[in-house]
Amino acid sequence: MGKMQNSLTLCVITLLLLSCRDDFTVDPEPDPTNGSAILLNSSFELGGSPTLQGWDASNEQQTTFLQDTPPDGGEWCLSISSTPGPAAFIEALFPASSGTRGYKISVWGKYLRTQGTISIIQRSLNNTTIRSSLSVQDTVWTAYVLIDTLTTASGDSVGVRLSGGITEISTGTVAYDICLFERL
Q: Is there a contact between 184 and 35 (Cβ–Cβ < 8 Å)?
A: no
- 20, pLDDT greater than 80: no
| pLDDT tens figures, 128-147 | 999 999 999 999 999 999 99
Please give the tally of structural domains in the chain. 1
- Please report the DSSP string for 37-54 in residue order: B----TTSEETTEE--TT
Per the structure, the complete domain to which residue 43 belongs is given by 2-183
Collect all residues with Cβ–Cβ distance below 8 Å to 99 and sequence separation of at least 6: 151, 152
Q: Is there a contact between 65 and 131 (Cβ–Cβ < 8 Å)?
A: no
- CA dist., res. 87 & res. 164, Å (int): 6
Report the CATH number that the domain containing residue 22 is assigned in CATH: 2.60.120.260
State the pTM of this model: 0.80
Please give the mean pLDDT across all residues of the chain: 82
